[in-house]
Every structure is written in C-alpha cells, then in structure tokens.
Structure 1
Amino acid sequence: MASPAEQELTLAETESSKEKDQTFGILRLQEEKSNHNKAASKQAGDGRWQAPIFALARKASETLSGSIHVLPKAVEQNKTSPHFSEDWVYKAIRDPMAVERANLLNMAKLSIKGLIESALSFGRTLDSDYPPLQQFFVVMEHCLKHGLKVKKSFLGYNKSLWGPLELVEKLCPEAGEIAASVRDLPGLKTPLGRARAWLRLALMQKKLADYLRCLITRKDLLSDFYEYYAVMVEEEGAVIVGLLVGLNVIDANLCVKGEDLDSQAIPVNQIIHIRSGQIAAMLDQKNYVEELNRQLNSTVHSLQGRVDSMERSNTKLIEELAIAKNNIIKLQEENHQLRNENTIILMKAHQQLEVTKVDVDSELDTYKQSRQRMDEMYNETRRQLREECQLRQEVENELMVQVSMKHEMELAMKLLEKDIHEKQDTLIGLRHQLDEVKAINIEMYQRMQHSDDGLKQKNDIISRLEEKTNQITATMKQLEQRTQLETDLKIEKEWRQTLQNDLQRERGTISQLTTEARQINGLKKEFYRLQDENCQLKRICEEQEQALQELGYKLSE
C-alpha cells in the first residue's frame, strides 16, 4: 500500500500535469514555428546545459522500477487540441494580467537558462557576487511578489513575501531547518530580507523546486496570500517550478550572514539575455526542450522516490511477512503446548475429583466412627448409672448386714460376759477384740450415719444423673444432628470451593485460549492480506518495469 506522502505526490503530479497541458500546447506550436532552426540550436550552446540533465535522466532511468504516465498523456492530449494555444494567446492578449504572467515566465526562463549556461561554463560553483545569480534572485522575487495580497498592519499596508514561504515549513517538514536558520540570522530585520535569505538557502540545498512545488499544489492555502491572477496560483507558476529543477545541476556557495538583504533589490537587467536576432526561435526551441527535460527530470525524480519508497515498503512487507510467519509458527507451537496443558489440567481435575471423592468417603467414615463413639459414650453413661444403682443396692445390703452384725455383737457381748471367767487367757485378746469391735461399732455407726447421708446424696445424685442422662440424650441427639449437618456442610463447602477454584482456572485457561485463537485468526487474516498486497505490488512493479522499458526505448529513439 502507498504511503500518504506518495498519494499526495501522485495527486500533485496529476494536478501539475493538468495545469501544464496548455504550456505543452504553446511549446508544440513554438516547435512547429522553429522547426527549420532545430539543428542550429542543438549545435549551439544549449547542448552544454542539456547534457547534464539528460545524463541525470538516463542514470535515474537505469535504476527506476516505476511507471511514467504524466508526460505522454499531456503531450497526446495537447496533440489532439491544435486550437488550444491560439485560444490561450487570444485570452492572454485580452487579459493584461496574463501578459504580466507571460513576461515574468519568459524572464524566469531567460534567467534560469543564462544561469545554467554560465554556471556550466564557469565551473558549476557560484557565489553571491555572480551577476546572473543576482538577476535570478531578482526575477524570482518579482515572480513571488506578483499578485501578492496587501496585509493591513499597525504601521499601514504592506506586502509580506515571507508569509507564503513560511507556510512551506508546515507543508514540507524538511524546510523547517531553513526556516529556523533564517529566523536565527542576526542581520535580518524585515520579512523581505528573510524571504531573500530563504531563497538563497533553498538554492544551496537544491530543494527550491521541491519546496515551491509543495507550495503551489496547495492553492487553497495560497488564496490567503495571493490574488486569483497571481503567477503562483496560475499554470505559469507550475512551469516556473518545473524550470527550477534544472538548477539542481549547479552548486551555489552563498554567504547569507554578511549580505544586506533588507535593502531594495537591483533592477532586472535584460541586456544580458539578448544575444542575436534569432533569439525568439532559439528561445522557443530551448523552452520546449527545457520543459521536456524538466518534465522528464521531475518525473524521473518522483518515480525514483516512488520506487525507493515501494522498495522500502516491499522490504518492510517481506520482513513483516517473515515476522508474521515466525509469529504464526510460535503461536501454533504455543497452541499445541496449551492444548497439551489443557489435557494435563483435565487429567489433574479428574484426579482431584477422585481424591475429593476419597476424602468425602474418609470424612463419612470418620463421621460414622464419631457417631459410634458417641453411642459408646451413651452406653458407658448408662452402664455407670446401672453401677450406681447396684452400688446403692449394695450399700443398702451392707447396712442390713451391719444391723444384723450389731445384734450379733450384742449377743456376743452377753456371751463374752458370761464366759469372761472361762476365757481369762484370752482376755487381752478379747479386750483388743472388744476395742476393735467398739471401734468397728463406732465406725459402723458412723458409717451408718454416713451411709444415710450418702444414701440421701446418692438419691440426689441419682435424680441429677437421671436429669443429666435425659439432657445428655437430648444433647446427644442435637449433637448428632449438628455434627451431621456440620460435617455435611463442611464437606459441601470444601467440595464447592475446590470446584469453584477448578472452574475459575478452567475459565481463565479457556479465555486465554480463546484470545490466543482470535489473535491467531487476526494474524492469519493479516498474513493473507499482506500476501494479496505483495502480489499486487509485484504486479504493479512488473507493469512499471515494462513501462520503464518502453520509456527507455522511447528515450533512446
């Protein structure tokens, strides 16, 4: 695809070709009038300044790979309109501004021709004191001042030549360096001096024709500075800009700092352009050849720039195509890798589901075991209750035994009192036994009292235990329900959390895969589009090479 600069260049060429159709009609008419002086004019000094331009055109045409369509169409169009030049001459006679433009155009042709001839004979390097160069700047100043609108200021009315030249900086960014240099010059005080310095710097840079060409193509902006009849607005401006291309073969070494550019310009000296009586025929022939050379040179330069830009764009497209292919290969590898990772993630997810199932089963087993333990605790509590009941029964039995033993002891005491004399040998033992029996009796009495208290306490304990057992059974049921619900809720939460995490990871991977797939589709479309553009550019390049071969054949003829 062509860049915006190339599109503007082609539009400017078509506009300039339309403006130059009339000029080619006049040049063709002049060629027919001066056909008998053609051989003499070619052998004269014109060959000295034609040769470098033709050499540059041939050198550029050898490396050119574009097509040329502007000049042949203009010449053929003018060939089909033989009465066009006569109508234009009649119009110029009736319009005095057209006469002024024609005079300025002729003066520009004469000054540029004389400057090129003298520069080629002088050695191509000129300084600021060279008279033809001074005359050229004076003529260019008159051409640029023609039809300039008067601007109102605080001091009165004036014509500022610096305004349209300063506009070139916005249209052509390359002219920004010249404009900055002109503004930085210390000796310049007026806009006219800045404009003269700008013309000299542009000539030294060999970009004067290019800058003025950018200026005349924007007629919507020129209307703010020039009248409708100005040279820079009409087709004469395009012809003058085309003539300025020939100045690229000379070198100018001008010192802008030391010159007094704010003063008035010297008048145009026309004596140096008058050579012989046949100057009209020679000028007609010279103008035609010069215009042809200018057209060829400008088209060659423009086509060379277009070919260079096309080659750069082609190389860029090839590099971008290679980069796109590498990106596609990398994306395919990443897609394959992501698919493998997706399968691995799915396998891991299945494994995690199996692990979660195992964990759920283990949690269910633990719940069953805890429930079994709670049942065991309940059974243990019931067993303790039964033991307490048995213990109470044993205490009651022991109390009955103690009562019976008390009666027996009383009987034994009576028997011992009777047998005391018989058993004096065993008195000590009996006394000890008596003391022991007394102690036992006291202990039994105390124990009986304690057993009564304990019985009461145990009755209270039994009632409390029964209440506690009832509470424990109720709490056991509640705990069983709560533990079951808590375990179920905990298991469900863990399972839901794991599933949500897996789902989020899966969604993230799916979104990444979809975005990468969209990027791959976009890259494929861009790749196909670049392939189509590359084919179109190759086809255009082949057509332009064929047209260039035809142009070289015509030039060789």
Structure 2
Amino acid sequence: MAQFGAPRNPVNWVSHLTAAVVSQPAVKDPAVVERANLLNMAKLSIKGLIESALSYGRTLDSDYPPLQQFFVVMEHCLKHGLKVRKSFLSFNRTIWGPLELVEKLCPEAEEIAASVRDLPGLRTPLGRARAWLRLSMMQKKLADYLRCLLMRRDLLSEFYENYAVMMEEEGTVIVGLLVGLNVIDANLCVKGEDLDSQVGVIDFSIYLKSEEADHEREGRNVHISAILDQKNYVEELNRQLNGTVSSLHARIDTMEKSNAKLIEELAIAKNNIIKLQEENHQLRNENAVIFMKAHQHLEAAKASIEAEQMYRQHSRHGLSEIFTDICTDHEDSELTQETDSDLEPVRMQHEIELAVKLLEKDIHEKQDTLIGLKEQLEEVKAINFEMYQKMQCSEEEARERDEDDELDERCTQMPSARKPHEQSHVLNQSRSIEIASYMKGASVDSAPQYKMIKDISF
C-alpha cells in the first residue's frame, strides 16, 4: 500500500496531515493550500477504505462509515473551484454538470446516467451526482470515467475555475489513487437512500486511533496483503478467462452466423434442385410427346410421298408417250429450221469479214494521206523559215547600204550623190518586187496544201 504515498501508521498520517497543514502558511496562494489539503484527505480516505474493506472481508454496503467518508471527500474534491451559475431564481453550484459530460465522452457511462435520471426519489442535481458516484463505484469504473473527464480540460473550463482541483495536477493524482478501489466489492442501495438531504461533513475521528490498534492493524495488514495478492491473481485469471470466453463467444457467434447462412444457402440450393428436377421431368414428358407427334408426321409424310411417287410414275409414262408422238411429228420441221439456222451465221460472218477488210483499206489510205500531209507541213515550215532568214539578211544589207550611202553623201558633193542614191533606190524597189512576187508564188503554192489539211481535220 506504499504506492499511495502515505505512511502506514494512522498516527503518522495525522502528523503528516498536520505537518502539511502547518507548512502551508509559507505558500501565499490559498487555492494551492486547499488543493493540497484535499489531496491529502483523498489519500487518507482511499487508503483507509481499502485497508478497512480488506480487514472487513465482506461486500461493503452503504452504511459502512469509511465508504461514506470516501464519498464525502470525493464530493468536496469535485466541488472545489466550481463556477457559480445564475439560474432563474437563485445561483446554482452543483457537480452534476461536469459529471453529466462523462456519458458524451465515454459511451459506457450512458447506462449509469440513464439509470440516475430514472430514479424516482432524486429531486436535486446534487442527489443525482451522489447517486452517479455510488453506481460508478459499484461498477468499478469511477477512475476510468474521471480520467476521461480530465482529458478534456477545454470542456471542464466551462464548469471549473483555473485553480480548481480538477483543473490541476492534484486531480490526476486523485484519479490515479482511485484505481486501487477496484479491489473492493460494493453493494449499495441507491433507491431507498435519501441523497438529496445528506450533509457532507468529513469525520476526522475515523483516521485518529490508538497505537495498539495500529500494531494490530499492521499484523493484519500482512495477512491482508497476502489475501489481496491472491485476490489480484484470481481477478487477473478471471479477466483472462473472461477475455477468452468473450473471444470464444465471438467465434461462436460468427460460426453461428456462417452456419445460418450456409443453412439458408443449402435450403435455397435444395429448392433450386427440386425446381430443376420438376422442370427436367416436364421437359422429358414434352420431349416424349414431341417425339411421338414427329413420328406420326413422318409416317404420314412417307405415305403421302409414296402416293405422289406412284402418281408421278403414271404421269411420266403417259407424258413420255405423248412426247414421242410430238417428236415424230416435228422432226421434219426442226430439220428444215436447223439447216436455215446453220446457213444464216455463215452468211453473216462472210459479210462481216468483207466490211472489216474495207474498213482496214480505208484506214490505211487515211494514214498514208496523213503522213503525206505531215511531210508537206514540214516542207512548208522549212520554206517559211528560209524566207524569214532571207528577209532578215536583205533588211540588214539594206541598212548597211543606207549607212554607206549616207557616208558617201557626206563625203561627196550633193550633185554627185544623187545618182547612186537613185540607183540604190531602184535596186531596193526591184528587190522588194522580187520578194513580193516570190512570197505570192509561195502563198499560191501553199494554199492547196492548207486547204487539204483543213479538209482532213474536218
């Protein structure tokens, strides 16, 4: 029990408490002193409750004094630093507000909060808070619920001042001490108890006892510690067994669910098989009926085919006789027609050959004329080119002669220059006349050629 930080002797607890109280005046802030006193009282009440419960050896009820003092101390710790809230008629200052937040933070606490609200004898928020503490004590979840509440300081700031126990480190220490209460089994009757009108006063006489009682308690503590270790071991085994049982239950649930699904699937499969068997039976019956009908149709068709074959044979025999008679009557006419038809293609072929030969001759003649015309065109082009060259040469010679005449005129006198000029003029006229006559003759000769080319083109 040394983990709670308090000496084992109750007298030493009182001295420790008084020393703490005496040493507090050195601290200037009274809120710090209040927090330290509440922490020390929480340590004393929790340790005394655990020791007395183990020595008591039975399940604790609501009349057990150390348990009552523990709830009073917890009430004082939760009331420290509460903010005053204005209501319609008066000021409200209760611890039910922050405790009501636990059900929102921890879903496991919803059942306790609902049961507290449903209690018929509670009329005040303080009574509901006291009932909540007792129910969580019986459930062995008081430390867990308060730990969830301390982790949300932002929500607690709406109900507590900054110097409150629940807002400082002392609150976490108290919650850590509350874990040791899980070894205690409490059976509290909340319905018949008047929790609204109880007065929460701390009784220090419980913690102030004689030294003889302390020695006896030390002797008992040795035996109690062994029993406590055994109880812890048994509880640990019980927790492990509960865990295995829960896992086995989960497996059983999963197996049952899977088994139920398989059973449903098997039933569905059986129903499907029965339906398929019925459909198969129906199809077989229908197939047999169809086979019988088809066999009957085949027999009827065979009979009708045989009758048709007999009728066709008789009709063919009669038609063959008629055909032979017709053939003998028309043989002569067919022979004459065949001879005429044989001669007509020969005549037509002979006429076609003659027409083709005539066309070939005509084509050869036209090709020869085209070749001759092309040669004439080439000759005309050559003649025109020669004439063009001769004209250019004559023009150049005339220009040269004109230039020479001009020079001679400049050099010689005017009378002497008239005669050669006249002679050159006469020569030029004669040359132009010759060229014009030659061109006329060439044009006359080439005219029928151009006419022939025009006729051929048409």
Shorter-normalised TM range = 0.3 to 0.5
Identify the structure with bigger relative contact order (alpha carbons < 8 Å, sequence gap 6+): 1
TM-score, normalised with respect to structure 1: 0.36
TM-score, normalised with respect to structure 2: 0.43
Structure 1 or 2, whichever has the larger Rg, is 2
